[in-house]
Chains A and B, each alone.
Chain A
Amino acid sequence: MMYATRTRNARPEPFAVHVGIAERLGLAHMDWPLMASALGLMAFSLLTLGQATQNDVPGSPNYFLERQTIYALLGVVGMLLLTRIDYSRFRELRVGIYTFLCASISLVFVFGFAARGSRRAFELPFFSFQPSELGKLLLVLALAGFVIDGARRGSQVQRTLRYLCLGLAPAALVFLQPDLGTSLVFGVATLAVMYFGGVPWTHFAVIGGVLTALVALVLVVAPATGVPLLKGYQEERLTSFLDPDEHASGAGYQQNQSVVAIGAGQFAGRGDQATQTRLDFVPERHTDFIFAVIGERYGFMGAALVLSLYALLFWRALRITTLSKNSYGTLIAGGIAVSLLFQTFVNVGMNLGIMPITGIPLPLVSYGGSSVLATFLAVGVLQSINVQAHLSQKGRFAW
């Protein structure tokens, strides 16, 4: 008897699973301009540190270069790891992240070491870790989760107040360290997440009004009535940029020297003749005032290139807010984008003498392990959002 045999063709797999090496590393759907701008800025940082800090640490000409290189490598690895992870998981961990954020900042008060009168960092064997730098990213991750999660609870006003409280609590902790600059970044990141979370314009108007009143109270009314809310140097730093000549030997000195350094760079830069920044006229030249070094050494060409890289970074980050597969990604990308924009503007503005001295580092360029690592991780999160967006459009989730 013959069996009619029917061979059944194997049903084609609906999706071909040929995972290439690029996809394994999470590189396939990365936003390359974003990656390029981040690496470009880091390259500028290493170049500048390598050339401008040769004499800073006696006997160790590449002290800052070597350390920054290690931080950068760690940051890039961290960024690539995050790229491969679905950021959406962080939403579930929001309470844990938020707790860790507040705890780590609080612990600095207990275990942190003091530098120039403020406690900001833990002294670790290899480097000093500053929780508030990583906190900028953690706050965005947690707060975006809370915003998404609490979107249906309470009235609009209640929600706005809740977000504000959640954001301002760690900001206040950082302010008490005291680290005015970083607490401002926390505040701005909070507002950015709320902005992308759809908080009505009217609420922002009210917040803006309250902020204006607060600034007036702190800088004008309180000193006039003899109740100093800011430490003397903080207030002087905040106001001296309005009249740098008045404070030429005090707080305005740094800014005057920074402005002179940048101006002296002219169009093409002074290279090794960059005396302003090489001879200690500009303080903190490897951290807060590194843009002055770039301006003097590489001139308008170099400084404008750095600004362009930041513009590119911000544009790509903003673009990712619109691509995200979910609102959580939009909120994170928005928070990260705005806090990077804010830090860049405040730091460069400070170097150019048009913003007060607030001690905010220049992301990816200023020397500092915590800041470099945190910023690369933030870029990694942006990449993750981008990758996830592409994968979801293809109808497939990353493993």
Chain B
Amino acid sequence: MYLRKDQRPQGSRLSLRVAVLSGVAVVLFGILFFRLWNLQVLSGDEYLAEAKNNRTREYKVIAPRGEILDRDGDILVDNRTSLALQLNTQKLPSDPAEERAQLARLADLVNMPTAKVRQTIKEEEEAAAGAPVTLKRDVGYPLIAYLEENQDEFPGLTVQRVFVRHYPEGTLAAHVLGNVGEVSEEELKEPDYKGLEPGDEIGKAGVEYAYDDYLRGEPGLTRIGVNAFGEPTQGQLFSTAPTPGENLKLTIDGDVQAAGEAALSARGLPGAFISMNIENGQILALGSNPTFDPTIFTEPMTQQQVDELYRDPVLAPLFNRATEGAYPTGSIFKVIPALAALENGVITPEEPIFDAGRMTIGGQTFQNAGAQAYGPVALARALQVSSDIYFYTLGLRMWDTNQLQEWASKLGIARPTGLDLPEEAEGLLPTQEWRNQLYAEGETERPWSAGDNVQLATGQGDLQTSPLQMAIAYAALGNGGEIVTPHVAMEVEDEAGRVLEEFDPGIRRKVRIDPGYRADILEGLHLAAQEGDGTAVGVFGGFPIPIAGKTGTAERPGHADQSWFAALSPYPDPRIVTIATVEEGGFGAESAAPVVLQILEAIYDEQASEVSSAGGTE
């Protein structure tokens, strides 16, 4: 032992210990200096960049979507600003118990189950970590006022203005307009949606989808300085204004559309209508019943709404029957066998066929509606009274020649139309080859027979086509053979109404139709609509504008007869085709023809008032 009470330790031993400690100190200070030099001088640039990045936060400024107008410039869709409650989740208490309590208070505030609030936060956090979570859209002013008074209780909760689609005309043209919704994960991977982020809104259906590029606009960017809690510090550092979406003007005429929808819904049955300019393919009105209110897509749906929209296989309100519905068309199809037979010399316009009311082909008996016998009928008369026997005979004459199918296909039956809406039915045009193929594969009981073609000649049997495809075919008949491209978009305008781009897709192809045959068929249709004992005279007999029209009554397996009517107006130089169908609506003249009548009234009322008002100003 070397240490004596109150004696200096022996110098050498103390010196050793002091020396060792000095060495340790030199090493420790060396470490600190080295680390400091390394951080500040060697990698200072990186840390400086990180620090600068640390104190700014970018906020996206949402661009309002473009408005959608009808052809007269009346607004069909615009935006309203809505107040949304957003939560900065970094402000939630870190203590789990306190966080639970805070979430429960929030849930109470927005009137949602706590589990739902949690789930919303989780989902939005996964989609965009760090971004504020939208708890509730469209909060009312009473809630805002309450929040302002009790702000301390809800840290991190802010009110944000967002744009919400607004439909001043309610359900009008809902199927054409479609709806918007948040971009999905799958859609984000598509090249069309490059640059979008989770939470961004895109068009999901209708023209909102088809013309999303024009309507969407460019979000702006605001970069603001923030402190560690994400609170703004020195105001806006940098900002680009959002570019609002461009306005889309449709070819739809709001008044005609409204008339069609009113007429169809008055029937109380599922159905569809379409009215189109036969020269340029502009669709004036296009509707489907039952319809839906696009407003319900702007807010969270109730289960009942979801069930009504998506789970009802019969009414299927989202289903656009005018373009997606595929049906047998009944007698309105007869113009196609007429044209095919005339053009192929199978019959002449004058050649009479004796209509005894019934006929037997291959052991199968076919008859007119009500087994009515018309005696000898030529083309025009056959169309006027809708003689099935006449067209059965044409079908029989062409049964193994494919001439009927060739003409149906030329006129666009069961072919893509080029419509600028996202969904359309393909349809089915039964041919000899098709049925024989099915038969060879064992998918059907019998090969192609004369009966199949006889059925097709009256728009029955396996035929599946949409009101839109029939409109194209009638348009070609009316305009002398041009297959137009149907479209609902007319032009894109900027905010000031200047036209940025016009849509004129032109014709898809031309079919050579003999003008004489065309006139003969139109005459028959005119007779059917407005002369003598024509099938639709009861409906159109008193209509002041001469038209060419055809009723149809389609037998649809498992359903009551489907009512059809197709009209070309005015006769003899038509400019507009209008087609309506009512599922289970009975005879063509019973329900579809009155719908077409109301549409035509709207069209010609408006033209008359435009003419008179134009005259008045002169």
B180 to chain A, nearest CB (A): 35
B536 to chain A, nearest CB (A): 74
B321 to chain A, nearest CB (A): 54
Inter-chain contact B8/A262, CB cutoff 8 Å: no
Inter-chain contact A314/B36, CB cutoff 8 Å: no
Q: Pick the contact of B32: A296, A337, A349 (CB < 8 A).
A: A349
Q: Pick the contact of A328: B6, B39, B40, B229 (CB < 8 A).
A: B6
- Please tell me if A109 contacts chain B, counting CB pairs below 8 Å: no
| Bound: A281/B33 CA distance, A | 24
Inter-chain contact B18/A321, CB cutoff 8 Å: yes
B39 to chain A, nearest CB (A): 4
Known A-B contacts A196-B17, A322-B18; the reply to A260 vs B50 at CB < 8 A is yes
Contact residues in B for A310 (Cβ distance below 8 Å)? 29
B358 to chain A, nearest CB (A): 85
Contact residues in B for A363 (Cβ distance below 8 Å)? none
Residue of A nearest to B28 (CB): A345
Q: Pick the contact of A152: B1, B35, B44, B55 (CB < 8 A).
A: B1
Residue of B nearest to A300 (CB): B40
| Bound: A344/B336 CA distance, A | 98
Contact residues in B for A348 (Cβ distance below 8 Å)? 32
Inter-chain contact B39/A262, CB cutoff 8 Å: yes
Inter-chain contact B36/A300, CB cutoff 8 Å: yes
Contact residues in B for A148 (Cβ distance below 8 Å)? 3, 5-6
Known A-B contacts A196-B17, A307-B32; the reply to A263 vs B8 at CB < 8 A is no
Inter-chain contact B44/A265, CB cutoff 8 Å: yes
- Please tell me if B81 contacts chain A, counting CB pairs below 8 Å: no
- Please tell me if A156 contacts chain B, counting CB pairs below 8 Å: yes
- Please tell me if A33 contacts chain B, counting CB pairs below 8 Å: no
Inter-chain contact A263/B39, CB cutoff 8 Å: yes
CB neighbors of B among A250-287 (8 A): 257, 259-267, 270, 275-276, 279-281, 283
Q: Pick the contact of B5: A151, A156, A341 (CB < 8 A).
A: A151
Known A-B contacts A275-B51, A321-B18; the reply to A300 vs B229 at CB < 8 A is no
Residue of B nearest to A156 (CB): B1
Contact residues in A for B233 (Cβ distance below 8 Å)? 279
CB neighbors of B among A150-185 (8 A): 151-152, 156
- Please tell me if B54 contacts chain A, counting CB pairs below 8 Å: yes
- Please tell me if B15 contacts chain A, counting CB pairs below 8 Å: yes
Inter-chain contact A352/B1, CB cutoff 8 Å: no
Contact residues in A for B52 (Cβ distance below 8 Å)? 264, 275
| Bound: A353/B25 CA distance, A | 19
- Please tell me if B228 contacts chain A, counting CB pairs below 8 Å: yes
Contact residues in A for B45 (Cβ distance below 8 Å)? 266
Contact residues in A for B3 (Cβ distance below 8 Å)? 147-148, 151, 197-198, 327
- Please tell me if A230 contacts chain B, counting CB pairs below 8 Å: no
Size bracket, chain A contacts: 35 or more
> Per DSSP, are chain B's interface residues mostly helix, strand or loop, or mixed?
helix
A366 to chain B, nearest CB (A): 16
CB neighbors of A among B376-417 (8 A): none
| Bound: A85/B188 CA distance, A | 78
Q: Pick the contact of A304: B31, B36, B228 (CB < 8 A).
A: B36
Known A-B contacts A307-B36, A326-B7; the reply to A260 vs B22 at CB < 8 A is no
| Bound: A196/B2 CA distance, A | 12
Inter-chain contact A263/B228, CB cutoff 8 Å: no
Inter-chain contact B55/A281, CB cutoff 8 Å: yes
Inter-chain contact A321/B14, CB cutoff 8 Å: yes
Inter-chain contact A262/B47, CB cutoff 8 Å: yes
Inter-chain contact A261/B51, CB cutoff 8 Å: yes
Inter-chain contact B32/A330, CB cutoff 8 Å: no
Known A-B contacts A151-B3, A152-B1, A275-B51; the reply to A299 vs B40 at CB < 8 A is yes
Residue of A nearest to B7 (CB): A327
- Please tell me if A149 contacts chain B, counting CB pairs below 8 Å: yes
Residue of A nearest to B50 (CB): A260
Q: Pick the contact of A263: B18, B31, B47, B55 (CB < 8 A).
A: B47
Residue of A nearest to B55 (CB): A275
Known A-B contacts A197-B3, A267-B41; the reply to A352 vs B36 at CB < 8 A is yes
Inter-chain contact B25/A295, CB cutoff 8 Å: no
Residue of A nearest to B27 (CB): A345
| Bound: A39/B55 CA distance, A | 35
Inter-chain contact A263/B33, CB cutoff 8 Å: no
B228 to chain A, nearest CB (A): 4
A303 to chain B, nearest CB (A): 6
- Please tell me if B37 contacts chain A, counting CB pairs below 8 Å: yes
Residue of B nearest to A275 (CB): B55
Contact residues in A for B41 (Cβ distance below 8 Å)? 266-267, 300
Q: Pick the contact of A276: B22, B39, B46, B54 (CB < 8 A).
A: B54
- Please tell me if A311 contacts chain B, counting CB pairs below 8 Å: yes
A377 to chain B, nearest CB (A): 22
Contact residues in A for B1 (Cβ distance below 8 Å)? 151-152, 156, 198
Contact residues in B for A318 (Cβ distance below 8 Å)? 18, 21-22, 25
Known A-B contacts A322-B15, A322-B18, A326-B6; the reply to A352 vs B25 at CB < 8 A is no
A270 to chain B, nearest CB (A): 8
Inter-chain contact A259/B39, CB cutoff 8 Å: yes
Contact residues in B for A381 (Cβ distance below 8 Å)? none
Residue of B nearest to A148 (CB): B5
Contact residues in A for B364 (Cβ distance below 8 Å)? none
| Bound: A195/B41 CA distance, A | 37
| Bound: A129/B226 CA distance, A | 35
Contact residues in A for B55 (Cβ distance below 8 Å)? 275-276, 279, 281
- Please tell me if B43 contacts chain A, counting CB pairs below 8 Å: yes
Inter-chain contact B25/A266, CB cutoff 8 Å: no
Contact residues in B for A352 (Cβ distance below 8 Å)? 32, 35-36, 39
Inter-chain contact B28/A341, CB cutoff 8 Å: yes
Interface string of B220-236 (1 = CB under 8 A from A): 00000111110001000
Known A-B contacts A330-B9, A345-B32; the reply to A263 vs B54 at CB < 8 A is no
Interface string of A296-334 (1 = CB under 8 A from B): 100110011001001100110010011011111010001
The residue among A148, A156, A263, A280 with the most chain B CB atoms within 10 A of its own CB is A263
Residue of B nearest to A269 (CB): B40
Known A-B contacts A151-B3, A266-B44, A327-B3; the reply to A281 vs B18 at CB < 8 A is no
Inter-chain contact A327/B32, CB cutoff 8 Å: no
- Please tell me if B371 contacts chain A, counting CB pairs below 8 Å: no
Sample (28) of A-B pairs whose CB atoms are under 8 Å apart = A148-B3, A148-B6, A151-B4, A195-B17, A197-B3, A198-B13, A262-B39, A262-B40, A263-B43, A263-B48, A266-B40, A270-B48, A275-B52, A279-B225, A279-B228, A281-B54, A281-B55, A307-B32, A310-B29, A314-B25, A315-B22, A318-B21, A322-B15, A327-B4, A330-B9, A348-B32, A349-B31, A349-B35
Other than A263-B47, A283-B228, A327-B8, give 5 A-B pairs with Cβ distance below 8 A.
A279-B55, A295-B40, A304-B36, A322-B15, A349-B35
The 4 closest A-B pairs by CB, nearest first: A263-B47, A266-B44, A264-B51, A279-B227
Interface positions of B (Cβ within 8 A of A): 1-9, 13-15, 17-18, 21-22, 25, 28-29, 31-33, 35-37, 39-41, 43-48, 50-52, 54-55, 225-229, 233
